[in-house]
Structure 1
Amino acid sequence: MELAFETRALRTLCEEDDVAAEKLPGEVVDALKRRLADLHAADSVLDLVVGRPDFDSTAPLVRMTLAANYVLTCAANHRTCPLQAAGAVDWQRVRRLKILTIERSESDA
């Protein structure tokens, strides 16, 4: 899959280990690296099982668990989002994701 990032700071966090280590717990950094590698290697987000992808029913968003109650949130990043006949996102055809956030889940607040 092709990945983009919501902000330059988020891109730096995802691509530079020393920056990630300053801002996130070690186990989250390790999980983030694995999840990004999984995303790069996948043909579709539906190929992923690790991180328990959770697809939003109202928007083209997918959330994946990292560690220590942190969640990686991504959006389909196509000019025209692939849709199924019923109008839902066709995640099997999504080949581009934009990473939106890495944050602690609300259930741990």
Structure 2
Amino acid sequence: MPVELDTVFQALADPYRRAMVSRLVEGGPASMKELAAPFDLGLPSTLKHLKVLENGGIISSVKEGRVRTFSVREDGLNTLRTWLDAHQRHLETGFDRLAAAMAANPEDLSDGE
């Protein structure tokens, strides 16, 4: 079941959560304590943020003994990537049409001097 785009945007709307995702992408799996360390957040607040990311399908966790380790899901940002790619293609098509129109009418680009 694909994750809803709104859920992904909501999960990434918070700067703490984006920083946690960046940390996991750049540094690999980490415990909740490791993810909370750079911030002035208690573990309960950190857990709430991590749950939002997990519910958004962006990260997953595994509990080994007393330690829960979080990591970015391989497909965690696919919903967002698909949405961005579609919009990027639409923008590029518009810019290509603009460039073609400008090339077809170079006299319209002069200062009128």
Fold conserved between structures, TM > 0.5:
no
- Higher-Rg member (1/2): 2
More helix by share: 2
Q: State the TM-score, normalized to the length of structure 1.
A: 0.32
